[in-house]
Structure 1
């Protein structure tokens, strides 16, 4: 069985975490413990749940963790939209982060569908 580190979706999710940290570094100081912190936690949750789910013994357990990762992705998407509307990030930062997030979420959906079809 492959390690979670070999999963492209996990690798892309790590890339997303780094991007979110970079974007939130530019947020106003008053957001340090608010939106910035929430976005970072949601982003970190995605690869963390992929990794934890991969270590489980059943596909059903793995799928549950992938659903949690997907939920964190939609949470992050909402927070990213809020950050853009508050002018905390520029259009280019928003688009590149949103695009990577969409790619990760599509990959999670595909993985969930594949695992559920096997069960």
Structure 2
């Protein structure tokens, strides 16, 4: 498999994961906001410059996304005890529960819609094996 095919596969898997983990009634977040909240979820207590470094987004983009996520009640900010000029960010409890609930949704139905019922079991087994091999 070449890099382009691997990239396409990764993008397709991300699109499928997004279908599994979102509902029509979910709050609509931009892809940038999703990346920021995922980063804060993985790295609670981060500051904007750390999120910027990990995501590769411009600091102004991260700051704007953080502002919108705070307005929606998905991220909270607290002063850094070591340097009160800095703000540490974490996901709210409600956002944490929503992320965990969505992350636990089974992918079976979405995979079956894409490859058909007869191939879905094999695809799910292969994806599980791939995740194990990649230590995910």
Q: TM-score under structure 2 normalisation?
A: 0.29
Q: TM-score under structure 1 normalisation?
A: 0.31
Higher strand share: 2
Structure having the higher Rg: 2
Higher helix share: 1
